[in-house]
Amino acid sequence: MTLKSVQTPLLQVSKLCTTFTAGGASIPAVRDVDFTLNKGEVLGLVGESGSGKSVTLRSILGLSRRYGTTTGDVLWRGDNLVSAPESRLRTIRGGEIAMIFQEPMTSLNPLLTVGLQIDETLKAHTEMSAAERKKRAVEMLDLVGIPAASSRLSEYPHQFSGGMRQRVMIAIALAARPKLLLADEPTTALDVTIQAQILDLILSLARDFDMGVILVTHDLGVVAQTCDQVAVMYAGRIVEEGAVRDVLKTPQHPYTVGLMRSVPQNVPPRTPLYSIPGTPPSLLNLPKGCAFAPRCANKTSVCEDGRPELQESGTGRALACFNKVQARDGAAA
């Protein structure tokens, strides 16, 4: 169930499902994902590895088509991107919706200069002349904080540090002034100082360009500092969704409570850190009922037999759970 919005959503995702096939078996990587994103809003997608966050972003842009089957609705400016032809998606990717991938060294082409890679985006999505494209490329590198921008257009990705390569990825993504940015763990493998710089850069550019942003991350601290809304994913589904302040302050799903408890806070030395018991289920063999039931301390028989649907649980909140955690229990956890 999609949360209600008082304005026309920039992006509306409904019943999004993506299934892959391996060895004759179907693998449901994303199942019935619902959310809306408003103009200028930042939505955080959080959850353990394998929960479907990255596949969700790729499904929005149709990048999963080559390897799997995607159904549902992804409404963008009057188009349903799930059923849109590839020709339409090519005009949207990089132009209207841009994506920052996890690892810039594997996302950037090592054989092309960074200037040429920015130029490719501008040539595909704008009517600029060659001189105008070069000027924009210099502006973008300067905007993302790369010194001596004009002289670095002719350099290759390996000549940049990890943080600078990530900045180049951001420059490429934003060169054509998109209205939506999909950021898939943009600070992975960067040190804390560079992480903060990259996140501040993305947020400031989002404000400058009035973009919507979907940020995939494992770091709840990043979510608390940067996002307006948060959606918690588990085994391919959203299990809790709402305003960041509400969800992090009073989590209602036992999985969200577990994620919050996993963040060390005022822990004495040599104290074992908390981790959620068990491991995420195999997508090839999902439990009959709630996917989190085998790891959940709140489970009852209904959890093992039926799958809870994502439903509104309060003002601006949505929850997929039969036995939600009460506020006092969440605080105690």
pLDDT digits (tens, 9 = 90+) for 32-72: 999 999 999 999 999 999 999 999 999 999 999 888 999 99
Report the alpha-carbon distance of residue 142 to residue 298 in Å, rounded. 52
Residues 26 and 158 in one domain: no
Q: String of b and e for 14-45 (b: at least 16 CB within 10 Å)? A: bebbbbbeeeeeebbbbbbbbbbbbeebbbbb
Residues 88 and 163 in one domain: no
Q: Does any domain span residue 112? A: yes
Residues 311 and 172 in one domain: no
Residues 76 and 211 in one domain: yes
Report the alpha-carbon distance of residue 119 to residue 144 in Å, rounded. 16
Residue 304 tokens read as 């093992």
Domain count, the chain: 2
Residues 72 and 138 in one domain: no
At residue 327, the pLDDT reads: 59
| Domain region containing 157 | 107-177
Residue 237 tokens read as 């589904």
The CATH number linked to 30 is 3.40.50.300
One pLDDT digit (tens) per residue for the chain, 333 residues: 555 545 688 999 999 999 999 888 899 999 999 999 999 999 999 999 999 999 999 999 999 988 899 999 999 988 999 999 999 999 999 999 999 988 777 889 999 999 999 999 999 999 999 999 999 999 999 988 899 999 999 999 999 988 899 889 989 999 999 999 999 998 776 778 878 888 888 888 888 888 999 999 988 888 998 999 999 999 999 999 999 999 999 999 999 999 999 988 888 888 888 899 999 999 989 999 999 999 999 999 999 999 999 999 777 899 999 999 875 544 433
| Phi and psi based region of residue 307 (left: phi greater than 0; alpha: psi -120 to 50; beta: remaining) | beta
Q: Does any domain span residue 201? A: no
What sign results for the dihedral spanned by CA atoms 15, 182, 239, 292?
Answer: positive
Q: Does any domain span residue 62? A: yes
The CA radius of gyration of the chain, in Å to the nearest whole number, is: 21
Q: Does any domain span residue 101? A: no
Report the alpha-carbon distance of residue 230 to residue 46 in Å, rounded. 7
Q: Are 97 and 179 in contact (CB under 8 A)?
A: yes
Report the alpha-carbon distance of residue 321 to residue 324 in Å, rounded. 6
Residues 253 and 132 in one domain: no
Q: Does any domain span residue 114? A: yes
Q: Does any domain span residue 102? A: no
Residues 119 and 17 in one domain: no
Q: Which 3 state secondary structure label does DSSP give 89? A: helix
Residues 226 and 251 in one domain: yes
Alpha helices, DSSP H, located in 44-161:
53-60, 86-92, 104-107, 114-125, 130-143, 149-152
163-208 residue pLDDT tens: 899 889 989 999 999 999 999 998 776 778 878 888 888 888 888 8
Residues 64 and 157 in one domain: no
Residues 78 and 224 in one domain: yes
Residues 124 and 220 in one domain: no
Q: Does any domain span residue 233? A: yes
Q: Does any domain span residue 273? A: no
Residues 116 and 52 in one domain: no
Q: Are 92 and 61 in contact (CB under 8 A)?
A: yes
